[in-house]
Structure 1
Amino acid sequence: MRRLIFRRLLQTLPLLFFVSIACFVMVKAAPGDPVLSFVTPNMHAEDIERIRHNLGLDKPAYVQYFLWLKECLTGNLGYSLINHKPVLDQILERLPATAGLMGAAIGLAVLIAIPLGLLAGANRSKLVDKLVNLLAYIGVSIPLFWLAILLMYFFSIKLHWLPSMGMRTIGMDSAFDVLLHGILPCSVLTIGFLAVYVRYIRSSTISQLKEDYVQIQYAFGSAKRTILFRHVLKHVLLPVITLLGMSMGDLVAGAIVTETVFSWPGIGSLGMTAVRGMDYPVIMGITLFSSVMLILGNLLADILYSFADPRIKTTR
């Protein structure tokens, strides 16, 4: 197991290098100039060039990249071009808000998707399967920003049940207030994750019910519920582990659209602000940080595979 972890960590180095190059090239190719956010109508050309020099944007692109990469290797992701704060400090400051929101959404989606997927797969082509499929298709097809605006309109504007924006009410500092603010964005994200998870679990359940061990359990007189939750569930969890590993990047990057609609102070809204202001260091820092988390999530999924399926551990 240690050899597997060490080998996978070594494989991440060239991958992160490629991700950093691709992100840097795309950021540089994007239209816009971050210097323009500092320009005033009465500013002279010499002053504009001085600002460009102070920001290090007058150097060739490859020089800027290697200077940034050198700082990253020391744990310094640079400074924001807009507010001049350390990029890593801003990411860590907003990480709890994003991780809490995304973690709650993913956890709820998994808890709901497992019984729904098992139920739909065990009753293939029946009414319950058609209903679950219909809900899953709606969840996959519906734009999350439209769903967010719809929920905000009904539950905040019309019914006045839940707050519409932000993470806390001004003057209040309680966990219950944060919970109320998180219900709507968490519901939107949960619906998005749930639609995908249900489809995976249903498909895996259908394929597992055709295996020989299920027929043997039926021959022994085992009940259908017992077979589903005691035997089939263990094999169905394998694709769920893969999905959870792929969702690790979302814990950092967050849902940019959802956080922007609800003004949730997470990393997603920070990234959106950086894109609007052409804040290169913040964009690069968020991309690199989320890539690291995605790679670690896939590594964690591989480790959990070995525990969930002993055959994989024996092969390795």
Structure 2
Amino acid sequence: MNNYIVRRIAQAIPLLFVISIVSFTLIKLAPGDPVLSFVTPNMGAEDVERIRQNLGLDQPMYVQYVVWLKNVLSGDLGYSLVNHRPVAEMIIERLPATFGLMGASLLLSLLISIPLSMIAGSRQNSLFDRGLSLISYIGISIPSFWFGMMLIYFFAVQLHWLPSMGMRTVGMDSAWDIIKHGILPCTVLTFMNVSVYMRYIRSNTISQLEEDYVQIQYAYGATKGTVLLRHVLKNVLLPVITILGMSLPELIAGAFITESVFSWPGMGSLGISAVHGLDYPIIMGITMMSSVLLVVGNLVADILYGVVDPRIKTTG
């Protein structure tokens, strides 16, 4: 197992290197000039060029990339071109908000989707199964920003039950106030995640119930509930592990659209503002941290496969 982990990490290093080159190139080729945000009507061409030199944007693209890579390898993600603050410091400030929102939505998604999907899969083509399938199709089809605005309209504007934006009420510093602000964005993310998870888990439950080991358990007198909980559940968890591994980058990047709709002060809103301001260092910082988490998530998923199902071996 240790050799496998070392081999996977060694394979991830060139992958991250390629991702950094592609991301850096695409960002630099994007239309717009970040220097324009510093220009005032009283500035001349020499002043603008001096700003460009101070920011290091007058160098060729490959020189800028080498400088950026050298700084990143030394633990320095650079400084924001707009806010003039260390990128790492700005990311660390936003991480708790995104971790709390995304972690809560992932946990609720699993707690809701696993039991409902297994029940639906065990009652294939029943009214309950068709109802869940309809809800799942709706969740997959509707845009998250539209669903978020509908929730704001009904629960914040019309009913005045919940706040519509932000993470805290001015003058209040309590856990319940943060929870109230997080209910609507967490509902949007959870509904979208559950809609996707249910399709995978339901399909896998149906296929597992057709396996020989299930029929043998029924022949020994086991009930459907016992078969589902003791035998089918651990096999159904395999696609869930894959989904969770792919979802880890969201803990860094956050849900860009959802955080923007609800003005949630997390990584998503930071990334959106960085894109609008052409703040290259922040964009690259978020991109690379998300890429590292994606690699780590896949590695953790592969390891958990062997834990959940001993038949799966991580051998060459």
Both structures adopt the same fold (TM-score exceeding 0.5): yes
What runs of 5+ residues in structure 1 fail to find an aligned partner? none
Supply the distance in 2 between the matched residues of 1:112 and 1:193 (Cα, whole angstroms).
10
Q: Which amino acid aligns with 1:166?
A: G
The share of aligned pairs that are identical, in percent, is: 65
Q: Which amino acid aligns with 1:216?
A: I
Supply the distance in 2 between the matched residues of 1:92 and 1:225 (Cα, whole angstroms).
45
2:34 maps to 34
2:302/2:314 contact within 8 Å kept? no
Q: How many angstroms does 1:314 deviate by?
A: 7.1
Supply the distance in 1 between the matched residues of 2:71 and 2:34 (Cα, whole angstroms).
20
1:118/1:228 contact within 8 Å kept? yes
1:303 maps to 303
Q: Which moved more, 1:106-115 or 1:124-133?
A: 124-133
1:122 maps to 122
What runs of 5+ residues in structure 2 fail to find an aligned partner? none
2:280 maps to 280
1:49-92 per-residue CA deviation (whole Å, 9 max, x = no partner) reads 00000000000000000100000101111100001111111111
Q: How many angstroms does 1:225 deviate by?
A: 1.0
1:70 maps to 70
Q: How many angstroms does 1:313 deviate by?
A: 2.9
- Within-5 A mapping of 1:9-88: 9-88=9-88
1:91-120 per-residue CA deviation (whole Å, 9 max, x = no partner) reads 111111001100100110011000111011
Q: Which amino acid aligns with 2:300?
A: L
1:155 maps to 155
1:225-275 per-residue CA deviation (whole Å, 9 max, x = no partner) reads 111111100100010001001000011100001001101000100000000
Supply the distance in 2 between the matched residues of 1:300 and 1:235 (Cα, whole angstroms).
17
Following TM superposition, the consecutive aligned residue runs of length 4 or more in structure 1 with deviations greater than 4 angstroms are none
Q: How many angstroms does 1:315 deviate by?
A: 5.1
SS for the counterpart of 2:249 is: helix
2:303/2:314 contact within 8 Å kept? no
1:214 maps to 214
Are residue 265 (structure 1) and residue 256 (structure 2) matched? Answer: no
Supply the distance in 1 between the matched residues of 2:269 and 2:215 (Cα, whole angstroms).
51
1:207-239 per-residue CA deviation (whole Å, 9 max, x = no partner) reads 101110000011111111111111100100010
2:225 maps to 225
Supply the distance in 1 between the matched residues of 2:138 and 2:18 (Cα, whole angstroms).
36
With the length of structure 2 as denominator, give the TM-score of the two structures: 0.99
CA RMSD of aligned residues (A): 0.9
Supply the distance in 2 between the matched residues of 1:42 and 1:72 (Cα, whole angstroms).
36
- Within-5 A mapping of 1:125-136: 125-136=125-136
Q: Which amino acid aligns with 1:200?
A: Y
Supply the distance in 1 between the matched residues of 2:315 and 2:126 (Cα, whole angstroms).
39
With the length of structure 1 as denominator, give the TM-score of the two structures: 0.99
1:307/1:313 contact within 8 Å kept? no
2:190 maps to 190
2:112 maps to 112
- Within-5 A mapping of 1:247-266: 247-266=247-266
